[in-house]
Each structure stands twice: as structure tokens, then as C-alpha cells.
């Protein structure tokens, strides 16, 4: 596919933001806040996706946060406790636990930040967390959200099996063996992330499509695959939710990793345009 040429703005030093540990209860979390010099009345809280997607998404998140600041919007990135540089180290927790962490951060931003509008942003598996937020949000922006949580859970097992094939050249433990490991209270690894039964259960026990999709929260979903776009268009019950298809298309991470900057810029532009329209 021929890549699209998008002008990449150069960043300036004051867009680095304030990085450090965000003092919230019960433990401080690693966070980075970028604010426009003239102040802002809107803040976007970035919700990280799960597992290695969080690390792979980091450059895009930094970039998008800077673009938001340039557009007059504050952006707060943070690591959920137990991930990144937020302590303590622990195995992958249930999705509800991450949603609760995000609720804490959004609550602190609302009470201390004096913003009139607070929204959330997430990509890929972050949608699983955004969908379970309890905190009050004014808008949500999602890129290529996970729509089928059970498929996502099954893919965790597949990812481990694929890893076994790569490393050992054969399947050492199949899906049912991995299920047994989890049932015994053990974990299995995906790219070094220890998957727990609590995570798998929290995914399979999911009943609704989540708030951004069926409540009145205004939002934007940027679909990168035609399949996602079609499915969202067909099932969208939220009148305030806009669904757009990024022109680049293709599978999210493989395309993003192969092309690096062009794909996220496509999504970023769509998100900024939507925010501008919505603010008006």
C-alpha cells in the first residue's frame, strides 16, 4: 500500500511537559502532563492499553499529547499501578482494576485540575478499560477498539502458543493446558507479561459493550480495519458517537510498527478535527 505523505511538525522543548509521580491515593502513579502555555479548559486523560501494546503505543501517545497541547488542550499520560514506572510490580490484573485506577486519576484531574471538560483517550485494548470507567467523563476518543472481548481473551492463549512455536519450535502446552495452569493459580507469559486467571475472567465476564458505545457519552472511534468500522456502524446505539475509518486501514499494530509515524498521524488528525468540532 502506498503510504500517505503527512507533514510531521517538529516539536519544541517546552512541549516535553511535567513528568514525575502524580500524588493520588493510595499510591503515586507515574504521569506526564503537557499543558498549553496559555492554559486550557479541556484535559484528555490517556488510558494505556494492556500488555506490550502499552509499550509499543508509547511513542504515539507522547506525540499525540504534544499535538493536543499545541491545539490548546491539556494531556495527561499515566501508568496504571503495577505497569511501567508506577509501583508496585505485579502480574497483569483484571481489567476492572485498571479501570478503577483510571477512575482515580480522572477523579483527581476533575477535582484538582479545574478543567471544565475532562475526556479520555485510548487505543486498541485500552477500550476494554475505557468501557468500564465509572468516573464522569465528557468525551471519549478510541482508536481501533477491541470489540470482541472473548476473542481478545482467546487471543491471549493463542499469543502464548505462537510464542512457544517461535521459541521451542513446537507447542509445549496447548490451550487447555494453559487453562489448567490458570485454574491452579499459576500464570503464563506473553512477551514477558504474566497472564492471570483474574484477567481472563474479567474479559470473559464482560456483558455490555461499555459506555462509549451505548451510553450518551460523546465520542469518536477511529477504526483502522474495515471490519471494525462496519461492525461499529451497524451496532452503534450512541447518537453522539462518531465513527470514522482511517484511510490507511490494515491491522493496527503490524501496520503501525512497520510504518511507525504515518498511521498514528492519520488517527491523530481525525481526533483533533473531531475535538475541534465538538468544542465548538
Q: Considering the rule CB under 8 A, would residue 192 count as an interface residue with other proteins?
A: yes
Looking at the Cβ atoms of 10 and 239, the one nearer to other proteins is 10
Q: Considering the rule CB under 8 A, would residue 11 count as an interface residue with other proteins?
A: yes
DSSP string of 163-212? HHHHHHSS-SS-HHHHHHHHHTT--EEETTEEE-HHHHHHHHT--S--HH
Neighbours of 226 (CB within 10 A): 11
Q: Which of 47, 50, 75, 76 binds other proteins (CB under 8 A)?
A: 76
Q: Considering the rule CB under 8 A, would residue 219 count as an interface residue with other proteins?
A: no
Residues within window 128-167 making contact with other proteins, judged by CB under 8 A: 162-163, 166-167
Total of chain residues touching other proteins, rule CB under 8 A: 71
The minimum distance between CB 230 and other proteins, in angstroms, equals 26
**Structural element, H or E, at residue 140:** strand 139-143
Q: Which of 26, 168, 176, 184 binds other proteins (CB under 8 A)?
A: 168
Grid cell, residue 64, equals 499525540
Looking at the Cβ atoms of 239 and 254, the one nearer to other proteins is 254
Question: Could you tell me which residues come within 8 angstroms of residue 165 by beta carbon, excluding any fewer than 6 positions away?
Answer: 171
Looking at the Cβ atoms of 19 and 151, the one nearer to other proteins is 19
Q: Which of 136, 148, 180, 191 binds other proteins (CB under 8 A)?
A: 191
Q: Considering the rule CB under 8 A, would residue 205 count as an interface residue with other proteins?
A: no
Looking at the Cβ atoms of 87 and 175, the one nearer to other proteins is 87
Phi, psi of 31 (to 5 degrees): -150, 160
Residues within window 48-67 making contact with other proteins, judged by CB under 8 A: 51-52, 55-56, 58-59, 62-63
Looking at the Cβ atoms of 42 and 96, the one nearer to other proteins is 42
Residue 251 to residue 253: CA distance in whole angstroms: 6
Residues within window 104-133 making contact with other proteins, judged by CB under 8 A: 108-109, 112-116
Residue 249, class by beta-carbon neighbours within 10 Å (0-12 exposed, 13-18 middle, 19+ buried)? middle
Looking at the Cβ atoms of 84 and 249, the one nearer to other proteins is 84
Q: Considering the rule CB under 8 A, would residue 276 count as an interface residue with other proteins?
A: no
DSSP string of 247-274? SS-S-HHHHHHHH-SHHHHHHHHHHHHH
Residues within window 22-51 making contact with other proteins, judged by CB under 8 A: 22-24, 28, 31-33, 35-36, 38-43, 51
Looking at the Cβ atoms of 177 and 236, the one nearer to other proteins is 177
Residues in the chain: 280
Maximum pairwise Cα distance, the chain: 58
The minimum distance between CB 142 and other proteins, in angstroms, equals 23
In 3D space, the residue among 46, 104, 40, 107 whose CA is nearest the CA of residue 74 turns out to be: 40
Q: Considering the rule CB under 8 A, would residue 189 count as an interface residue with other proteins?
A: yes
| Cis amide linkage into residue 30, ω under 30° from 0 | no
Amino acid at each position: 500500500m502506498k503510504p500517505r505523505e503527512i507533514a510531521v511538525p517538529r516539536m519544541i522543548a517546552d512541549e516535553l511537559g511535567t513528568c514525575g509521580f502524580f500524588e493520588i491515593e493510595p499510591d503515586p502513579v507515574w504521569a506526564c502532563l503537557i499543558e498549553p502555555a496559555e492554559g486550557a479548559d479541556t484535559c484528555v486523560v490517556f488510558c494505556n492499553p494492556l500488555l506490550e501494546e502499552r509499550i509499543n503505543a508509547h511513542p504515539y501517545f507522547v506525540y499525540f499529547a504534544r499535538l493536543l497541547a499545541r491545539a490548546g488542550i491539556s494531556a495527561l499520560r499515566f501508568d496504571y499501578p503495577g505497569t511501567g514506572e508506577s509501583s508496585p510490580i505485579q502480574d497483569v490484573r483484571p481489567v476492572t482494576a485498571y479501570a478503577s485506577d483510571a477512575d482515580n486519576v480522572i477523579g483527581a484531574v476533575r477535582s484538582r485540575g479545574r478543567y471544565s471538560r475532562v475526556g479520555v483517550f485510548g487505543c486498541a485494548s485500552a477500550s476494554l478499560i475505557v468501557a468500564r470507567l465509572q468516573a464522569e467523563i465528557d468525551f471519549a476518543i478510541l482508536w481501533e477498539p477491541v470489540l470482541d472481548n472473548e476473542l481478545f481473551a482467546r487471543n491471549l492463549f493463542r499469543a502464548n502458543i505462537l510464542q512457544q512455536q517461535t521459541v521451542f519450535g513446537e507447542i509445549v502446552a496447548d490451550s487447555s493446558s494453559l487453562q489448567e495452569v490458570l485454574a491452579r493459580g499459576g500464570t503464563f507469559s506473553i512477551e514477558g507479561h504474566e497472564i492471570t486467571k483474574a484477567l481472563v475472567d474479567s474479559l470473559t465476564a464482560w456483558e455490555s459493550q461499555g459506555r462509549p458505545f451505548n451510553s450518551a457519552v460523546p465520542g469518536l472511534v477511529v477504526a483502522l480495519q474495515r471490519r471494525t468500522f462496519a461492525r461499529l456502524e451497524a451496532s452503534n446505539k450512541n447518537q453522539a458517537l462518531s465513527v470514522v475509518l482511517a484511510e490507511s486501514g490494515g491491522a493496527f499494530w503490524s501496520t503501525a510498527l512497520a510504518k511507525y509515524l504515518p498511521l498514528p498521524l492519520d488517527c491523530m488528525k481525525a481526533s483533533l478535527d473531531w475535538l475541534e468540532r465538538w468544542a465548538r
